[in-house]
Amino acid sequence: MEEANEKVKWEEQEQWRRSIPAQVFLNHFFGIQRHILHLRDNYSLADRPLFQSFAPALTEERIGHAEKMLIQCWNTEYALRATAANGDESYLRNALHWTFPQAYYCLLFGAKAFLAVQGGVATSENIVRLRLGRLVTEGWYTYPVSFAAFGAPGHFSMRALPEGFRTPNLQLVDTPKESQAQVGQFLRTTRTMQAQALRRRQQADPEKAQRNTSTGEILKKFSKKHWEAVTYKLGPTTFFDLFSRLKISATHREIERFVEADIDFRLFHHCLLESVQYINTIHEAYVAKALGKQKYEQFVEQLPGYLKKGFVQKRYEEVIKPLLIEVKPMELPYRMAS
């Protein structure tokens, strides 16, 4: 009997050990969602000077692209919402295979719609991440998602995240400081992965590789100076890079360890959806501000019923429309980021 109990105990411990990577990932996205929740009521997009003065000159091409990207964004969010609303544990566990990339692409499409009215069509995902990085640090986003990491591994600095260098817990803890700690660690590990990947690509290219100034040999060990030369090309690491990890995990089949883990899958889907829809709302508000209230309402009115009569219309009436009414003329002129 005692031997059987020991075996059960060992199996439970082994299951927990195998679940740790997935639990850490859940903790990070829980941290993002709770960080937004802790702050969102105190920070409105209507208070952002760049939103108040946002009145870009638009071409029909840019308007058409923005509308196309929003429709793709909303269709993807519609699928995310349908999955999160399913209460079956087994279904939610296996749904991570498609919700991971869906959450990322949902944000990508919304970001492309924003960039289309903000400064032109973004053709590649890397251009999107670089431009969003600039916009985050220039003040286009609300404070809850204005966090960013800079610098080289071991020498990071952070923006809009005072407690970001705290060591986070392995168990879920819902406090503002813990949320910042989770987001901060997620930024650091993500930026480290980005820097390492960029270094591998650079050093594999004889023409771009950093070399020993004395011998001319390709460097194998990097100093702080060498790392800074690499990470300078990255731009800041932002919320967009954190959600890019979902795509990477799905592509590299790391997702299998999440599916097999013992974690709260309902919570995971809830955190993804809540964070995605918050960021989507920001992007939609900028598109609505650029198009103008009347033109945007005409666009929404032409949507298929499952969107027009669903969350898209609701979000417009409850969140975006008040922003368009509340904004006041500013002396600060709109400036387009390059």
**Average pLDDT over every residue of 93-98:** 93
**What confidence score (pLDDT) does residue 81 get?**
97
**What confidence score (pLDDT) does residue 237 get?**
98
**What confidence score (pLDDT) does residue 244 get?**
96
Q: What is the pLDDT of residues 142-158, one digit of tens each?
A: 999 999 999 999 999 99
| Cα dihedral value 25, 28, 29, 35, nearest 10 | 170
Alpha-helical (H) ranges within the chain are 2-39, 49-52, 60-84, 89-119, 125-138, 176-203, 224-231, 239-251, 255-259, 265-291, 293-301, 305-308, 311-315, 321-326
Q: What percent of the chain has pLDDT over 90?
A: 77
Q: Say if residues 250 and 11 touch (Cβ distance below 8 Å).
A: no
**What confidence score (pLDDT) does residue 16 get?**
44
Q: In 3D, which of 145, 144, 186 has the Cα closest to residue 165?
A: 186
Torsions phi, psi of 95, nearest 5?
Answer: -65, -15
Inform me whether the pLDDT recorded for 174 exceeds 80. Answer: yes
- How buried is residue 98: exposed, middle or buried, by Cβ count under 10 Å (0-12/13-18/19+)? middle
**What confidence score (pLDDT) does residue 11 get?**
47
What's the chain's Rg over C-alpha atoms? 22
Q: In 3D, which of 312, 239, 276, 267 has the Cα closest to residue 96?
A: 267
**Average pLDDT over every residue of 122-140:** 95
Q: What percent of the chain has pLDDT over 70?
A: 90
**Average pLDDT over every residue of 162-177:** 96
Q: Say if residues 50 and 242 touch (Cβ distance below 8 Å).
A: no
Q: Where are the domains of the chain?
A: 19-209+216-326
**Average pLDDT over every residue of 257-262:** 87
Q: What is the pLDDT of residues 307-332, one digit of tens each?
A: 999 999 999 999 999 999 864 544 43
Neighbours of 213 (CB within 10 A): 7
Q: What is the pLDDT of residues 277-297, one digit of tens each?
A: 999 999 999 999 999 999 999
- How buried is residue 10: exposed, middle or buried, by Cβ count under 10 Å (0-12/13-18/19+)? exposed
